[in-house]
Amino acid sequence: MATQPYRTAFITNLGDIPSTGSTYDLGDFQIGIFDAKNYNAVTNPSYPTTNAIIIAQGRDKRSFPMGIGLTNETLKLPAIKASNIRGWFGSKSQKPQNMIVRMGYDGVDSTKTLSLQEGKLMNFYLTLSGAPIGNLLGASSTTHYNSLTEAFTILTPCLDSCSDNCGANYDCNLIADAIIDEVNKRKIIGGEYLSKYVRASKITSCDTPSGLPTVDCTEWTLTVADLGNQDALGRVQAQYTGTDVSRVSRNGIYSTYKLTYCNNSTPTAFNTSVTPTIPNCTTCPSGYTLVNGLYAYTVTRTDTGNAAALTTFKSNYASTTEENTAIRLSYALGTSTYEVYSTSATLTAATAGDVVTLIGDVQAVCTQDTPTTIAWTEGVTCTKALKSYSISLKNDVCGNGFLTALQEAYEGIGTVTQGDTNASTCTTQYFIEIESDNTYCEPCTDATYTFTLPQPYNGSIWTEVAVDTTGVGCVCGVQFESAYVQRERKECFFDAVSYEVEPLFINVSSKNPEDIDYSELCIPDFPVTIVQGVKYAKGYGSSVLSERVKLSNSYFNRHWSTDPAERDAMGYELGIDLQGYYDEYSLTYLVEMPDATMASGFGQSQYQEFCSTFYFPAGQGAEFVQAINSFVSFPGSTVAPISI
């Protein structure tokens, strides 16, 4: 078994391994496999042609040593002989899965529903447990298991004392809506809303469905090569103003963005002119050219800050820089700040007054040849609900209504139409139809829509137009879904916030789980079904994975510093997406150690077992796996190739 100092961990956000070059050519945090004889990159090493390999990971190339006894050389493992490999394993990452419990109708069995006689009250208990509740209570789960039970009494409408309703049941939709309302408005410890931990929604199946009118929408996705930061997101959002654009994933140098359009609309193609450069990459996407060894500069100058000024700037620096890499970072108070990459380590000002500042160097930059457009990809179909509100306004002194004024005031919010006018009171009714705040894309559950009430007009409040939103002949249930409450960790305060892996558990019962009252045994139960169990997160960047990398770095004299300024200046960074997921690959092998105490004759031909673990973004370690599989696949090998 490998002793602790011989357990190393390497993590990367790049899925590809180099096919050419040496260890020096590795990108930042890129993992590569090299022939131990000549340090040339190999992608399919075969024993005995390649007797031993070296696995290395790139680091920032700094112009100064990174501390006493700490150089900026590439991190390398000892030479690994094929015959000395003892184990080769892989483990696939796993995203956490929330617990889902349904009370009443479970989505399949129509004999289950929320049944309550008129005039009766409904009581139930919702118990939450797990580490997230321990954090809420401020208690240590090492002393006892943490749980929180909330009791609910569902208030039902008053009955008509003059009617005979003996044995009649409430409409199950009324019961389900009342349960959801009580859960969503409940506050728990510290004034936290219970809905932050549990999401309640209605599940129904009706002989004659009904509900709010809806409009079809479509989710669209766009995959583009960019920096993957907030600035890159902003450049995409700028081309689709008024639309909610979000980044949903990051794979190598590619970001995937999502937006939703309704009424059969199609987003215009994305213009790539806003992504002229992609730094620190080894393979360029189509339409880009790889340029090695560039230096990054900012240049500030006084200009008008428009497109013509950018064109002039590019022309001024065309002879000394990569012209297509120039972009304007900001413009304020008559001064523009530009970013540009150059092959020169000492870029001089092209015009008087320019202030040139070196901000760093990059190993490789993909520069754009010619801007193109990229079409969005059509995804799943979703729906938005429509709801109407009304307002009554007295006409002005000339008898004119306010239709035009209302349409202008609520432009972009909803469609305003005019209703009836009462000539005797000079009052006109107006309607506005608005779309729901959320878009529903889950085909297997009943839609739950939320709306924002339009702002009052000159002090007059809009009133919701009542519609029948329930069906006929329904069975109903309420779904409780636990939230996965994971503490957010960032490198700035990494050590101050501990990681956790336990999800939130839910229990629903008509009897108090914390009470010993045997009379409750006579209370009739309502059906409760667990339709989805929990799954623990695996390979989560913020959890034990990052702790392993920190410990491993210390063996290379890269000790973790709690001071963010020192980490930035000295290049100490984990290189981990703390909210990402990583597949894990482990290689165990023997290494012949240097002779110790040669004079005594002891310590010669001593072998030490090493265990090296490699983390790749989920689904992106195929090239690395193929290379190691090739290396262990020789006649007589006791190590089998892997596949996850």
Taking residues 465-476, what's their average pLDDT? 78
- Is residue 449 over pLDDT 90? no
Average pLDDT, the chain: 83
Between CA 284 and CA 275 the distance in angstroms is: 13
Mean pLDDT comparison of 34-48, 59-73, 334-348, 597-611, highest-scoring range: 34-48
Between CA 547 and CA 296 the distance in angstroms is: 32
**Does residue 515 share a domain with residue 435?**
no
**Does residue 391 share a domain with residue 345?**
no
Residue 217 covered by a domain: no
Taking residues 623-633, what's their average pLDDT? 95
Residue 68 covered by a domain: yes
Domain boundary among 362, 378, 400: 362
**Does residue 353 share a domain with residue 402?**
no
Would strands 7-11 and 607-617 be described as parallel, antiparallel, or unpaired? parallel
**Does residue 167 share a domain with residue 88?**
no
Predicted local distance difference test score (pLDDT) of residue 274 = 86
What CATH number corresponds to the domain at position 457?
Answer: 3.30.70
**Does residue 452 share a domain with residue 478?**
no
Q: pLDDT tens across 552-590, in order?
A: 777 666 677 777 777 666 666 677 787 788 999 999 999
Question: 24: which 2 tokens?
Answer: 């020096």
- Is residue 393 over pLDDT 50? yes
**Does residue 104 share a domain with residue 205?**
yes
Predicted local distance difference test score (pLDDT) of residue 64 = 47
**Does residue 133 share a domain with residue 89?**
no
Residue 25 covered by a domain: yes
Taking residues 475-500, what's their average pLDDT? 73
**Does residue 117 share a domain with residue 69?**
no
Predicted local distance difference test score (pLDDT) of residue 228 = 84
Residue 127 covered by a domain: yes
* Contact yes or no for 312/403 (Cβ under 8 A): no
**Does residue 150 share a domain with residue 184?**
yes
Predicted local distance difference test score (pLDDT) of residue 295 = 82
Between CA 330 and CA 544 the distance in angstroms is: 40
Residue 218 covered by a domain: no
**Does residue 141 share a domain with residue 65?**
no
Q: pLDDT tens across 188-246, in order?
A: 988 889 988 999 988 888 877 667 788 889 999 999 988 888 888 999 999 998 888 99
Between CA 321 and CA 319 the distance in angstroms is: 6
Residue 253 covered by a domain: no
DSSP character string of 246-280: EEEEEETTEEEEEEEEETT--PPPEEGGG--EEES
Predicted local distance difference test score (pLDDT) of residue 518 = 59
* Contact yes or no for 469/385 (Cβ under 8 A): no
Residue 372 covered by a domain: no
Predicted local distance difference test score (pLDDT) of residue 161 = 59
CA-based torsion, 508, 510, 516, 522: positive or negative: negative
Domain boundary among 431, 464, 497: 464
**Does residue 501 share a domain with residue 451?**
no
Beta-strand (E) ranges in 23-154?
Answer: 31-35, 52-57, 75-76, 80-81, 85-91, 100-104, 122-129, 147-154
Between CA 300 and CA 328 the distance in angstroms is: 10
Between CA 581 and CA 574 the distance in angstroms is: 15
User: What's the N-to-C CA distance of the chain in angstroms?
Assistant: 24
Question: 76: which 2 tokens?
Answer: 């390398």
Between CA 198 and CA 102 the distance in angstroms is: 12
Which residue range(s) make up the domain with 396? Answer: 386-464
Taking residues 246-259, what's their average pLDDT? 87
Instruction: Provide the 3-class DSSP secondary structure of residue 392.
Output: strand
Between CA 166 and CA 44 the distance in angstroms is: 80
Between CA 538 and CA 520 the distance in angstroms is: 41
Residue 601 makes CB contacts below 8 A (sequence gap 6+) with none
The structural domain count of the chain equals: 4
- Is residue 356 over pLDDT 90? yes
Predicted local distance difference test score (pLDDT) of residue 63 = 44
Residue 260 covered by a domain: no
Question: 420: which 2 tokens?
Answer: 């009836």
Would strands 472-482 and 198-208 be described as parallel, antiparallel, or unpaired? antiparallel
DSSP assignment letter at 178: H
**Does residue 497 share a domain with residue 447?**
no
